[in-house]
Structure 1
Amino acid sequence: MTGVALDATAVYRPQQDSHLLIRAVRESVPVVGRRALDLCSGSGVVAMAVAGLGAASVTGFDICAHAVRYARTRASVAGARVDVRLGSWTQALECAPFDVVACNPPSLPTEPGHGDGAPPGAWGAPSTPWNGGPDGRVILDPLCRVAADMLTAGGTLLLVQSEFADIERSLRQLSDSGLDARVVLSDQVRFGTALAEQARWLERTGRLAVGRRQQTIAVIQADKPA
């Protein structure tokens, strides 16, 4: 990957949430011969996994130009047939509908002013790969509202998020949009560096028990009626 440096502030290193999302794709959704979208693609690890499962086509979108360059290089080196593009959900909608949509969006509640020096992303939040705004939902809310428009009839969205961004709210929003939404996988994981940095603030705001340093991550499956 000559000329592409791994910058942790710009490219999300695959962690438990990425691997849980890949597991959900493998276990919950038929992929072979279908048209797939990896939204908030980051390093491209999910897109490449979906391509490896036999999707007819895989398109990735991310708002970070560095991440897009990195993912394109990784896919090229790996020989994966993945089309990674710079853009947000609005650009993804222009390419819709898809049979399978996988998404690992920034869903970490982030203290106002923390990381504001980063360039603004497509949703108006700093384009760090974890910053979901003060409630973790700066991307989740618009995404859940338009998810049905991204899907073919009979299509499926798989969305992974933190408990601190209100999993039940995502389920309600997806259901309200006409999708059959439910949690299909979850796991307890230790805080990574970014969440550890927000721990004291989350404790002060009553969203985290003092001293607790684990979170639940969950994959939501939302199916569009055929």
Structure 2
Amino acid sequence: MTTSVRTEAEARPLGRLFRLPGVYRPQEDTALLSSVLTADTRIGCGMRCADLGTGSGALAIALARTGAAVVAADISLRALASAWLNTVLRALPIGLVRGGLQETAEAGPYDVVVANPPYVPSPTPTVRSTRAWDAGPDGRAMLDPLCAAAPSLLARDGALYLVQSTMSDVDKTRFALAAGGLRSEVLARAEVPFGPVVSGRLEYLTERGFVRPGDRTEELVVLRAAR
């Protein structure tokens, strides 16, 4: 079963989310992936799911609303506290894992793993305050490790759902997933205006060829990968 490709996906409103200072604010990419998770009938009760880099818990909430058992993982204690409070306020209990790919894998495997990893190319080294969006000079500092770790995160029939910008090379992500024995499909696409991070480094991104001169939008893509 495959899900149809959307050229203009409508994102379900995420609602008001509590965030401690420094926790990533959900934006169009989170909303797009959330809408896919909500609509995909392959996700539901009895499934064990993980939200990697949960931030405020928006994707954990989308998963929990399907009736799945959800683990929210993040290296930030502030993010985990924000995610926990947001799910408790909605009476949607989740488990918490402090850590990244290794710690999440140790608590697995999972039927569904979701991720909105950092993917914006950065002209400067990533620091604590920018780690939610900066992803190295090619935008793949987190995407490549995620693709490599995906098979170890997933149960035999498990699936990875991730969202990224075309700036950080969707084809490379699909090839990397294939190298690990995972077949990927595009579930959704959306053209969105540049946010403040991209707009603030537009000269760098244009010079490096990540965006074309005059562009003011980027394309977001949601992928699903499974064995």
TM-score of the superposed pair, with normalisation by structure 1: 0.87
User: Secondary structure of 1:101's partner?
Assistant: strand
Q: Which ranges in structure 1 are unaligned for 5 or more consecutive residues?
A: 120-125
User: In 2, are the aligned partners of 1:63 and 1:127 still within 8 Å (CA)?
Assistant: no
Could you tell me which residue of structure 1 aligns to residue 209 of structure 2?
206
Task: Find 2:66's aligned residue among 53, 56, 64.
Answer: 53
Distance 1:211 1:94 in 2: 45
Could you tell me which residue of structure 1 aligns to residue 94 of structure 2?
82
CA drift of 1:71 comes to 1.3
TM-score of the superposed pair, with normalisation by structure 2: 0.87
Q: Look up the equivalent residue of 1:130 and give its one-letter code.
A: W
CA drift of 1:65 comes to 2.1
Distance 1:52 1:25 in 2: 10
Could you tell me which residue of structure 1 aligns to residue 138 of structure 2?
135
Paired residues for 1:19-38 under 5 Å: 19-28=31-40, 29-38=42-51
User: In 2, are the aligned partners of 1:171 and 1:181 still within 8 Å (CA)?
Assistant: yes
Q: Number of matched residues?
A: 209
CA drift of 1:26 comes to 2.4
Distance 1:177 1:132 in 2: 22
1:5/1:152 CA distance change after superposition, 3 Å:
closer
Distance 1:110 1:217 in 2: 18
CA drift of 1:76 comes to 2.0
Distance 1:62 1:213 in 2: 31
Q: Give the RMSD, CA atoms, in angstroms.
A: 1.5
User: In 1, are the aligned partners of 2:121 and 2:135 still within 8 Å (CA)?
Assistant: yes
Distance 2:47 2:221 in 1: 24
Q: Which ranges in structure 2 are unaligned for 5 or more consecutive residues?
A: 1-17
CA drift of 1:52 comes to 0.9
Answering whether residue 181 of structure 2 is matched by residue 185 of structure 1, we say: no
User: In 1, are the aligned partners of 2:97 and 2:103 still within 8 Å (CA)?
Assistant: no
User: Secondary structure of 2:38's partner?
Assistant: helix
Distance 1:25 1:216 in 2: 19
CA drift of 1:27 comes to 2.8
Distance 2:105 2:20 in 1: 29
Distance 2:80 2:136 in 1: 22
User: In 1, are the aligned partners of 2:19 and 2:56 still within 8 Å (CA)?
Assistant: no
